[in-house]
Amino acid sequence: MRHTLPIAPQFYVTAPQPCPYLEGRMERKLFTALQGETATKLNNSLSGQGFRRSQNVLYRPSCADCAACMSARINVADFSPSKGQRRTIKRNAGLARRATSPWATEEQYDLFRTYLDSRHANGGMADMDVFEFAAMIEETPIRSRVIEYHDKQTRELIGVCLTDVLEDGVSMVYSFYSPDRPRDGLGNYIILDHIEIARSAGLPYVYLGYWVPGSPKMGYKAKFSGLEVYMGGAWQKMRNPDDFSPDQHPLNTVPIAEQVANIALPDLSPTRR
């Protein structure tokens, strides 16, 4: 009789490259592959420890002398919309939500290109072609959905979010939307709608990606009540955002070997049939 021992995931570190959030800094990521029948278990576990998914990879910032990036999520039970957020919901009442399987379309890519050219022309995705876009949407080993937002009257595609369904919430992997409606607050609206999606499904959290103090492009996340950030190995309620500092210091970070040793892995033994 042959017995197969479960293989623990292997973790790697990327080479340093310019930080997309804080000017003049270098970023580095800790990552592992996400594949096979253990993908869902691993994704659920590591998402709860500050990791994010990109196609078949789970990653977390692991910079040499900066610990500014913090994974953020909204505790749905603690969320209460502000007056401005209620106005955003009202302004977008003319949109209809449609959830589909993770399958890329030309209409999505056209909106994606328009969004990038308007908002992130110099970003890391600026040169992404239609095949790379399709890979971003379709290469997922876990339960994922594409949430589309259409104008109810014109049926025009206005916004899209690639969303993972976790055991304890929904994770907004990547969203993009029409830049032609700047007053509608579409980015905030998509988050607000995902809070409603999670609430309707009985899921406690909406995972937003990373919040970075000192980064203007990330400041909007701190405006959501019920926000929690992952720091010091645990989720903590967001206090005053001004109390967080993006100061650079080598003692702010834990050595790579210690980081990996402190990752709690689920039981990845093969499921018996």
Average confidence (pLDDT) over 204-210: 97
- Could you tell me if 141 and 253 lie in one domain? no
Q: β-pairing, 169-177 with 144-151?
A: unpaired
Q: Are residues 66 and 76 in the same domain?
A: no
| Residues 78 and 102 occupy one common structural domain | yes
Residue 121 has pLDDT above 70, yes or no: no
For residue 5, tell me if it sits in a domain. Answer: no
Q: Which residues contact 128 (CB under 8 A, 6 or more apart)?
A: 112, 116, 136
What's the confidence (pLDDT) of residue 7? 67
Q: For residue 142, give both structure tokens.
A: 């876990």
Residue 82 lies in a domain: yes
Confidence of residue 138 (pLDDT cuts 50, 70, 90): very high
**Higher pLDDT residue, 16 or 253?**
16
3-state secondary structure 14-69: CCCEECCCCCCCEECEEEEECCCCCHHHHHHHHHCCCCEEECCEEEEECCCCCCCC
pLDDT score, position 65: 82
Confidence (pLDDT) at 248: 60
Regarding whether 216 and 132 lie in a shared domain, the answer is: yes
Q: According to the model, what pLDDT value does residue 214 have?
A: 85
pTM here?
0.91
* Average pLDDT score, the chain: 90
Residue 226 has pLDDT above 70, yes or no: yes
State whether 84 and 139 are in the same domain: yes
What's 168's domain CATH number? 3.40.630.30
Q: How confident is the model at residue 5 (pLDDT cuts 50, 70, 90)?
A: very low
* Cβ count near 246 (within 10 Å): 16
- Do 44 and 132 lie in a common domain? no
Q: Which domain holds residue 255?
A: 11-70+246-261
Say whether pLDDT at 152 is over 90: yes
More confident residue, 2 or 10: 10
